[in-house]
Structure 1
Amino acid sequence: MLRRVLLYTALVLGANAAFAGEIDWQAAKDGGLAKLVPSENAPALPETTFTDRDGGTHSFADYKGKVILANFWATWCAPCREEMPSLDALQSELGGEDFQVVTIATGRNPPEKIDKFFEETGVENLPVLLDPKQKLARDMGVVGLPVSVLIDRDGNEVARLVGDADWSSDAAKDVIRQLTAP
């Protein structure tokens, strides 16, 4: 009997991706993130900078040590309008010292239009970051919007999702928790 209990415990713990420190990609897909694709042999993140609304310069290096979900979007993008509230909810629930949603408006997105977009969609917890000449988007291989890129604590691309997703879903939160697990 003890042998069975030990075997069952080992199987349960071994099958738990969060416990193992790995991402359970299949559970994420089954949970609604069907378009989330793990990034194998992804190139290093570019050192390309982006700005904030005051003209301050930023890069992904600013977030080293955190897991980030970088989301490329635009005010004119209908799927972005659908997705943004879930990104806001994810940041509200899990954002902090270990994790940050980094939303980057790419292309022509005047700050006043971003403010209106955020107000209309109820976004309160996301940064206003800009890539007006789409340099970062091009360097990251973003060809449509929205695009979300998961980046680990060491600055490596882990996965990418082209199109919109429900980032406030249990599946999305599980992926973030697995990435931020010690």
Structure 2
Amino acid sequence: MLRYLAFGLYGLTATLATPADAVDPGLLTGDMAKMQLDAPWRPEVQTFAREDSTRGRLSDYAGEVVVLNFWATWCAPCRAEMPSLQALQNELGDDGLQVVTVAFGRHNPMQMKKFWTEAGITSLPLHLDAGTELARALGVKGLPHTLILNRAGEVVAQLPGEADWAAPETLAVMREFLAE
């Protein structure tokens, strides 16, 4: 009897702890096939530097689905995907999605702004994680690396590597996260 009870509780815990209901795995096609769905978890480190040198927190985006992208000016795949992140923000920003970009490591702010201008980035933030504390807390091992946070501020998915964030399959996945 206890074995069945333990199995039942484990199954209930697993059901409550995974984002399986948030995204239909059948939608994970194209670049989204690389997306890893995670059991919701809250990072211990949540701070980064804003463009004006004040400290920001992931909790500043509470209530929104966050597409948290780590990038660098020297990273060619990061540079290639940035316009599609801007397009994602343009498409779904009014629906409660916020693309939050964080430059990984030390960067010259003038170089960051120059890249934004060259890439046509108009509304994405220029945040910085100079000491890489946030990236390390989130398990970022390479660039680009994007994490999805639900409206409660929990990491529910991540995608290592470059993606087309404006592709139809990506928009379908992001709409699923917005609907949860």
TM value normalised by structure 1: 0.83
Name the stretch that deviates more: 81-90 or 93-102.
93-102
Task: Confirm or deny: 8 A CA contact 2:84 2:165 kept in the other structure.
Answer: yes
Structure 1 residues without counterparts, runs of 5 or longer = 1-20
1:32 is the counterpart of 2:43: no
Identify the residue that residue 9 of structure 2 maps to in structure 1. Answer: none
Distance 2:47 2:30 in 1: 34
Identify the residue that residue 22 of structure 2 maps to in structure 1. Answer: 22
Task: Confirm or deny: 8 A CA contact 2:64 2:151 kept in the other structure.
Answer: yes
Identify the residue that residue 51 of structure 2 maps to in structure 1. Answer: 53
Identify the residue that residue 6 of structure 1 maps to in structure 2. Answer: none
Identify the residue that residue 151 of structure 2 maps to in structure 1. Answer: 153
Distance 1:113 1:81 in 2: 12
Partner AA of 2:33 in structure 1:
A
TM value normalised by structure 2: 0.83
- Tell me the percent identity: 43
Distance 1:131 1:32 in 2: 26
Task: Confirm or deny: 8 A CA contact 1:151 1:158 kept in the other structure.
Answer: yes
RMSD of the TM alignment (CA)? Answer: 1.7
Partner AA of 2:32 in structure 1:
L
Identify the residue that residue 178 of structure 1 maps to in structure 2. Answer: 176
Instruction: Please report how far the alpha carbon of residue 97 of structure 1 lies from its aligned counterpart in structure 2 after TM superposition.
Output: 5.9
Identify the residue that residue 124 of structure 1 maps to in structure 2. Answer: 122
Distance 1:26 1:109 in 2: 39
Aligned partner of 1:113 among 85, 96, 111: 111
Partner AA of 1:130 in structure 2:
L
1:168 is the counterpart of 2:169: no
- What SS does the corresponding residue of 2:33 show, helix, strand or coil? coil
- What SS does the corresponding residue of 1:104 show, helix, strand or coil? strand
Identify the residue that residue 104 of structure 1 maps to in structure 2. Answer: 102
The superposition leaves residues 34-92 of structure 1 with CA deviations (integer Å, 9 ceiling, x where unpaired) of: 2111113x542224310111111111111111100000000000100111010010001
Distance 1:101 1:36 in 2: 16
Task: Confirm or deny: 8 A CA contact 2:58 2:153 kept in the other structure.
Answer: yes
Partner AA of 1:69 in structure 2:
V
Partner AA of 1:32 in structure 2:
D
Question: Between Structure 1 and Structure 2, how many residues are aligned?
Answer: 161
1:137 is the counterpart of 2:161: no
1:72 is the counterpart of 2:60: no
- What SS does the corresponding residue of 1:71 show, helix, strand or coil? strand
143 and 31 in structure 1: CA distance in 2 versus 1, 3 angstrom threshold? closer
Distance 1:25 1:89 in 2: 24
Structure 2 residues without counterparts, runs of 5 or longer = 1-20
Identify the residue that residue 62 of structure 1 maps to in structure 2. Answer: 60
Task: Confirm or deny: 8 A CA contact 1:47 1:60 kept in the other structure.
Answer: no
